[in-house]
Amino acid sequence: QLPRVKVVSALITKALVAIDAQKTYGQSRNLLVAQRVSVRERTVPPVPKYCFGNLVAIAMTESSAAEGKNMGF
């Protein structure tokens, strides 16, 4: 079973590709999707419970127009 974040990210990406296709009259373009990821729970050693602040990383995915067509976008 896929994690929810992957499913939601895929749905958002698919919607953005569809919107872009309408704006460009069906012409496919390269796509770059970036999203913030909380890394607080993933650090080694763990961050102390009462430490404050945000620990984030940026996750990016890039797709060429040809790859998008192969995926059905």
**pLDDT score for 57:** 82
Task: State the pLDDT at residue 41.
Answer: 81
Q: Where are the domains of the chain?
A: 4-70
Q: How far apart, in whole angstroms, are the C-alpha atoms of residue 18 and residue 31?
A: 12
| Predicted TM-score (pTM) of this structure | 0.55
pLDDT for 73 equals 52
2 pLDDT above the threshold of 80: no
The pLDDT, as a whole number, for residue 69 is 61
How many CB atoms neighbour CB 16 within 10 A? 13
For range 16-33, the mean pLDDT: 81
